[in-house]
Amino acid sequence: MYTSKRNILETVALLKAHGISRVVLSPGSRNAPLIQSFICDSFFDCISIIDERSAGYLALGLALQDHQPVVLCCTSGSALLNYAPALAEAFYQHVPLIVLSADRHAAWIDQMDGQTLPQPGIFGPLVKQTVHLPEVQDDTTRWHCNRLINEAILTCQRPGKGPVHLNIPISEPLFDFSEPTLPVVRVMEEVITTHGQCPEALVNAWNKAQKRLVLVGQHPTDSTLTSLLDTLATRFDCVILGEHLSNVDSKALIGNFDTLLAHLDTETTDHLRPDFLLTLGGHVISKRLKQWLRQQETLEHWAISSNEKVADSYQHLGQYIKAPANEVLAALAMQASHEAGHQYADHWNHLSRRLPAPTPSALPFSDLAVTGYFLYQLPTDAALLVGNSSPVRNIQYYPKPALKTVYCNRGTNGIEGSLSLATGLTLHADTHLYALLGDLSFIHDLGSLWTAQELAQNLKILLINNGGGGIFHHLNGLELSPTLLPYIAANHDRRLEHWVKAAGWDYLEASGHQSLATVLPSFTDTNRSRPIVLEVFTDPASNKAAFDVYTSTLQTTLP
């Protein structure tokens, strides 16, 4: 019988699923649940070595002989420290060892409890990765545990192999050995591909799937990628989703999926659910899409990336291909079986086309209306920098303009540094850069106005001044908090005109439909040779009313 501790069950099951069978055990009570679970399973070849220092070197010898990872398992406290010499040797010889250290709950570290010391990260740079597993309490902590174990197992076997450390907190009671079987676990795999070839497993999975969804996250402008996505959409029944930050101009791209998922009924969205997900690129803004995909019970998820590490954003990642996406997509288009029907894609496209974009003139004067006027006025082949919070979300309600590139600080989603980033983007560029920023983002980086005035002659900033953090007025429940206006949204009544003019910038302003229509052509004029700020004033009440008006128009157009 196995232990009842779910983080241990996940660890043992994943080691078994990855085919790692050799285990060197050292005695102890805190690691007894681990010992029990390895010994009771005939898959594992276990040996017991009393001294952890000797155990480490013995495991090193096994791994060198078999060219396979070997597991080391010890109790908490100073026992773990004895692995250090062997791990250092393994690190420099690139030998894959997997250290499992039992630990107490974090609350008892440095509290004079027996056999405790700070174990996570104790080997520093002498291991390729350290993970501290959670004690599994629910689906989220189980997913987290599963992901960390998979990542560590994969890391120790990547090119330049080496040791990894998994620290496993185990709360009392320790000795409940009542589980008859190991759980079924999600296994993550790195799929190897050769240049110009698509892995056979991906081709087979693609051919087998009935509802294929390709999701492109934030990505630099790439005309080859756009062409490849067009080819996939033509040859196969697949849906291509991407936000403006994907910088994909494919005719097959569906960009209004967040609004669709927000307003379609449950039966319709259930029919839209994919059985196969292929992802590439970086961040996706839509929280709604992430939650919708995470809620699926089963979903085969493949990711393509040139990065060493890939994120499991949708909690279904199974296979990861470390390769240039364009190479894999081009090979997939050639090797997969072509199809005549496009029923799944047609369903998505039909609903997407039924969803109207907002009509700015039909809305109260608001952030949403201003964003629409601005996007429709942008010149072809300009570049756009969009701020986080409301601006980057509001642009998604409108079709993507024919822009050269859309930029945004989505790596950490912060509102700071936008003006400085814009200055850097314009220094050696011959393209006009337009920035759409909120007032708090602008205020954050006011000091860079002086630098930008000298260096960023092609920069034009549309500054939406809604008197604070406008996005916070759209979060359900937060409107009841007395701290919303003064502290959370940081409401203010400041005009930014004097700061802009003091820095030597040209300045325009607007506070209504007519005044914006008057100044917008001058603001977007590509013949303008000086940096300029257009400050547009809106208010939270009108911003909320604008969304209510737009939502009411969708009730008659969507099922």
The two domains 190-354 and 360-554 share their CATH topology (first three levels equal) = yes
Q: What angle do CA 361, 494, 444 make, to 5 degrees?
A: 95
In CATH, which of 3.30.1490.20, 1.20.1250.20, 3.30.70.990, 3.40.50.1220 is domain 190-354? 3.40.50.1220
Alpha carbon of residue 522 to chain centroid: 38
Looking at the predicted structure, is the pLDDT value of residue 493 above 80? no
R_g (Cα) of the chain, nearest Å:
28
pLDDT digits (tens, 9 = 90+) for 498-532: 989 998 999 999 999 999 999 999 999 999 889 99
Whether the per-residue pLDDT at 480 is higher than 60: the answer is: no
Tell me what the mean pLDDT of segment 271-277 comes to.
97
Can you read off the two tokens belonging to residue 39?
């010994």
* pLDDT at residue 473, rounded to an integer: 55
Sheet architecture: strand order including 212-216: 189-191, 317-322, 300-305, 276-280, 212-216, 238-242, 253-254
Asked whether the predicted pLDDT for residue 482 surpasses 80, the reply is: no
Residue 216 bridge partners (DSSP): 242, 280
Over residues 321-361, the pLDDT tens digits come to: 999 999 999 999 999 998 878 999 999 999 999 999 999 99
Partnered with residue 536 across adjacent β-strands are 464, 510
Is the pLDDT at 36 greater than 90? The verdict is: yes
Tell whether pTM > 0.85.
yes
Q: Which fold has domain 6-180?
A: Rossmann fold (3.40.50)
Instruction: Please list, residue by residue across 237-257, b when 16 or more beta carbons sit within 10 angstroms of its beta carbon and e when fewer do.
Output: bbbbbbbbbbbbbbebbbbbb
Q: For residue 413, what pLDDT is reported?
A: 81
With beta carbons less than 8 A apart as the criterion, state whether 166 and 100 touch.
Answer: yes
Helix (H) or strand (E) holding 23: strand 22-25
pLDDT in tens, 365-383: 999 999 999 999 999 889 9
Average pLDDT, integer, range 284-288? 96
Q: Which two tokens stand for residue 38?
A: 């390895």
Q: What percent of the chain has pLDDT over 90?
A: 77
Q: Which fold has domain 360-554?
A: Rossmann fold (3.40.50)
pLDDT of residue 529: 84
**What does the pLDDT read at residue 479?**
62
Residue 556 has pLDDT above 70, yes or no: yes
User: What pLDDT does 115 receive?
Assistant: 82
**What local confidence, expressed as pLDDT, does residue 486 receive?**
60
* pLDDT per position as a tens digit, 446-462: 888 887 777 777 899 99
Residues 189, 319 contacting (CB under 8 angstroms): yes
Predicted local confidence at residue 478, as pLDDT: 57
pLDDT at 319: 96
Would you state the structure tokens that stand for residue 95, as one six-digit string? 């030998």
Q: Which of 39-48, 260-269, 390-399, 449-458 bottoms out in mean pLDDT, i.e. has the lowest?
A: 449-458
Amino acid 489: pLDDT: 58
Domain locations in the chain?
Answer: 6-180, 190-354, 360-554
The answer to which of 82-91, 224-233, 286-295, 414-423 has the lowest mean pLDDT is 414-423
| Sheet with strand 45-48: strands edge to edge | 45-48, 22-25, 70-74, 97-103, 164-169, 129-132
